C-alpha cells in the first residue's frame, strides 16, 4: 500500500489590483491558496497495469508525480525520421519488433518526423520508446486525452497487449473512464473519491469486423502499404469495416504457377495505423484465405517484413514454404506490382481447414 498526504500551498504576496478586487468581491480573506490530496493506493501482487483516473483538477498528476515522479515519460523528438529519435545503440530488428508490438507497424510512418504523425501514432511511438528504456515502471500522463475516443479505446487495447509481453509496469493517468475496460488494468484509483475502485470482472467489448468483397477503397489504404502504392487491376478486393468505417484491406490475385493450379496470392494486406496491434490483420488474412480453400483453391502470401512473417509463423493455419530470395523463371509470367524478386522474403501457404 502506498499512502500519500499532499498539501500544495501558495501565498498571495503583493496582490495586484485585479487579484485584490476579486478577493474583495468574493470575500476571500485568506492570503493562502491551499489544496490537499490524501489517500492510499493498494497494489495487488504481480501487477502490470494500473490507472489513476478522475476529473480535471482532482489531483491525478500531482499524486502520480508524488508517487512515481521519476518514471514519467517526457520524450523529445527532433529527427527527420522518427526511427532516428531512438537510441542509436538499438538494433534495427529490436526497434521494428517493438514498433509492431505496440501497433505502429506502418513502414512509411517510421520514416516521417514525429510532429507530422497522427496523435494515435504519436501515442504508440511514445509507448515503444518507453518500453525500450530500462525503467521498470512507465507512467503516461494525460493518457489518450488528445485522441478520438474510438482510437483511444483501441489504442488502450494495443497498450495492454504490448505491456503484457514485457515485465514492466504501466500506469495511465487519465480523465477518461471509457478506456478502463479496454486497458484491463490490475488496479484503478479514482481521484474523484480518493479511493480504489473495485475492479470486478472487466469485460472488454468484442471487436466486430464486417468484411465485404468490394472495390473502391484502395485510396484509403495505399499510402500505408510498405512496398508500393499500386494495386493490380485484376485484384479481387476485400474490405473490413469497424463501426461502418473501413479499417483493413486485403487484395487477392491469380498467380501463374507451373505445377499448382489454381493458385491465388495475397497481393495487398493493410490495416490502418489506428487499428494496428489488435490482431485485425491476422483475422483478415485467415478469413480471406479460408474463402479460397473452401473452393479447393491454393492461396499463399509473400512478405519481406520480418515481424509480420514471424506472426504468420506462429499461426497454425499457415506453413512456411520459402525463405530467402526469389529468382525469376522464364516460363512464368510475372506481375510487376506483386513481384518479390531480389528481396529476402518469407513465403507461406494456407493449410487451415
pLDDT in tens, 24-71: 888 887 877 778 889 899 999 889 999 999 999 899 999 999 999 899
**Is 42-197 assigned to CATH 3.20.20.70?**
no
User: What's the grid cell of residue 166?
Assistant: 514485457
Q: What is the mean pLDDT of the chain?
A: 88
Whether the pLDDT of residue 201 is over 70: the answer is no
Q: Which CATH architecture has domain 210-350?
A: 3-Layer(aba) Sandwich (3.40)
Torsion of CA 36, 37, 38, 40, to 10 degrees: -170
How much is the average pLDDT of 12-16? 82
Q: If pLDDT is split at 50, 70 and 90, which confidence band does 326 have?
A: low
Whether the pLDDT of residue 334 is over 80: the answer is no
Q: If pLDDT is split at 50, 70 and 90, which confidence band does 327 have?
A: low
- In the chain, how long is the greatest CA-to-CA distance? 93
Q: If pLDDT is split at 50, 70 and 90, which confidence band does 183 have?
A: very high
The structural domains of the chain, with segments of one domain joined by +, span: 1-38, 42-197, 210-350
Q: If pLDDT is split at 50, 70 and 90, which confidence band does 8 have?
A: confident
Prediction pTM value = 0.81
Whether the pLDDT of residue 187 is over 90: the answer is yes
pLDDT for position 203: 81
How much is the average pLDDT of 143-155? 90
Amino acid at each position: 500500500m502506498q499512502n500519500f498526504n499532499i498539501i500544495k500551498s501558495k501565498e498571495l504576496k503583493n496582490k495586484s489590483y485585479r487579484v485584490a478586487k476579486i478577493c474583495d468581491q468574493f470575500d476571500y480573506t485568506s492570503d493562502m491558496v491551499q489544496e490537499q490530496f490524501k489517500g492510499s493506493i493498494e497494489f495487488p501482487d504481480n501487477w502490470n497495469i494500473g490507472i489513476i483516473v478522475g476529473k480535471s483538477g482532482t489531483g491525478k498528476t500531482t499524486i502520480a508525480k508524488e508517487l512515481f515522479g521519476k518514471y514519467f515519460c517526457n520524450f523529445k523528438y527532433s529527427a527527420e525520421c522518427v526511427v532516428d529519435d531512438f537510441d542509436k545503440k538499438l538494433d534495427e530488428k529490436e526497434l521494428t519488433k517493438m514498433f509492431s508490438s505496440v501497433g505502429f507497424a506502418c513502414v512509411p510512418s517510421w520514416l516521417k518526423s514525429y510532429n507530422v504523425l497522427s496523435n494515435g501514432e504519436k501515442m504508440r511511438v511514445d509507448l515503444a520508446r518507453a518500453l525500450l528504456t530500462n525503467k521498470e515502471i512507465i507512467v503516461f500522463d494525460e493518457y489518450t486525452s488528445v485522441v478520438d475516443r474510438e482510437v483511444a479505446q483501441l489504442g488502450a487495447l494495443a497498450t495492454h497487449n504490448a505491456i503484457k509481453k514485457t515485465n514492466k509496469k504501466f500506469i495511465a493517468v487519465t480523465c477518461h473512464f471509457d478506456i478502463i475496460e479496454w486497458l484491463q488494468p490490475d488496479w484503478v484509483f479514482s481521484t474523484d473519491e480518493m479511493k480504489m475502485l473495485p475492479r470486478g470482472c472487466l469485460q472488454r467489448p468484442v471487436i466486430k469486423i464486417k468484411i465485404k468483397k468490394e472495390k473502391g477503397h484502395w485510396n484509403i489504404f495505399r499510402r500505408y502499404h510498405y512496398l508500393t502504392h499500386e494495386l493490380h487491376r485484376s485484384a479481387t478486393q476485400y474490405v473490413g469495416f469497424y463501426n461502418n468505417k473501413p479499417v483493413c484491406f486485403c487484395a487477392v490475385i491469380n498467380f501463374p504457377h507451373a505445377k499448382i493450379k489454381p493458385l491465388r496470392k495475397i497481393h495487398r494486406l493493410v490495416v490502418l495505423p489506428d487499428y494496428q496491434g489488435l490482431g485485425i490483420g491476422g483475422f483478415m488474412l485467415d478469413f480471406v484465405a479460408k474463402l479460397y480453400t473452401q473452393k479447393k483453391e491454393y492461396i499463399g502470401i509473400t512478405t519481406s517484413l520480418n515481424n509480420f512473417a514471424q506472426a504468420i509463423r506462429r499461426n497454425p493455419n499457415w506453413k512456411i514454404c520459402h525463405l530467402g530470395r526469389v529468382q525469376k523463371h522464364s516460363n512464368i509470367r510475372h506481375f510487376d506490382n506483386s513481384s518479390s524478386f531480389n528481396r529476402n522474403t518469407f513465403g507461406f501457404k494456407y493449410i487451415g481447414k
